Amino acid sequence: MSCGFGNTEEVNITQHRRIFMPKGIDLKVGGKTKKTKWTAPKSNDIYLKLLVKLNHFLVRRTGSNFNAVILKWLFMSKTNKPPLSLFRLIRFMQGKIKRLKIANAMLATSKLVPTVRDLVKQDAKIAVVVGTVTDDIRAYEVPALKVTALRFTETARARIEKAGGECLTFDQLALRAPLGQNTVCISILLVCASAMLSSSYVSNVLFWP
């Protein structure tokens, strides 16, 4: 038997191929979604890699959100970690202490949460900066600050220590406050984002006044 398309066997083979041939490529779970976030720093700095290893351990063993945030900031590129001046650091911490004093006053008059008053201590706050702290001549008076940063310039370190403050490293902070107790994480991109002013999306970012 024959038809216009050729022999019957050829037509059956063609239909078989159309039915049983794969229609596409089997994708992995999640489809073609590409994960763009960094899971490791691009830098070859040995000290930075040791800090990543330390914070990986703390996140895994403690489950602390503080360590997870620090680990995420350690992954950032150098452009996203601009230096923070001593003047902006002092202004940020003074505003933080002022807000904590107001919270203390409100908690002192409140009868609902009398035990929380002991947890809010503005004197023991440690500023945590994932970046470099630099000196600033606009800061005439430097209070006694406790600052943790990746790096300090020589003049900034000298002025902080002369005022009775402390310059800590992240491994020292892990021994003193492994869960981030009495610490203040300072996002440099919100406080000092001058390195990102040329980007197109910066106009939508709220900067610290």
> Which pLDDT score, from 0 to 100, does residue 161 have?
94
Q: Is the pLDDT of residue 29 over 90?
A: no
Structural domain that includes position 94: 79-105+123-186
> Which pLDDT score, from 0 to 100, does residue 118 have?
41
For residue 146, tell me if it sits in a domain.
Answer: yes
Q: Which two tokens stand for residue 99?
A: 């807000």
What is the chain written as a DSSP string? -EETTEEHHHHHHHHHHHHHS--SPPPPTTTT----S-SS-S---HHHHHHHHHHHHHHHHH--HHHHHHHHHHTS-STTS--EEHHHHHHHHHHHHHHHHHHHHHHHH-SS-SSGGGT--STT-EEEEEEEEE--TT--S----EEEEEEE-HHHHHHHHHTT-EEE-HHHHHHH-TT-TTEEEE-HHHH--GGGTTSTTGGGSPPP-
For residue 6, tell me if it sits in a domain.
Answer: no
Determine the Cα–Cα distance for residues 183 and 203; give it in Å rounded to an integer.
29
Confidence label for 93 from pLDDT (cuts 50, 70 and 90):
confident
pLDDT digits (tens, 9 = 90+) for 96-147: 766 666 666 666 666 544 443 344 444 568 999 999 999 999 888 888 889 9
How much is the pTM? 0.67
For residue 175, tell me if it sits in a domain.
Answer: yes
For residue 163, tell me if it sits in a domain.
Answer: yes
Mean pLDDT for the stretch of residues 167-190: 88
Mean pLDDT for the stretch of residues 77-93: 87
For residue 192, tell me if it sits in a domain.
Answer: no
Confidence label for 50 from pLDDT (cuts 50, 70 and 90):
very high
Say how many domains are in the chain: 1
For residue 179, tell me if it sits in a domain.
Answer: yes
Q: What CATH number is associated with residue 92?
A: 3.100.10.10
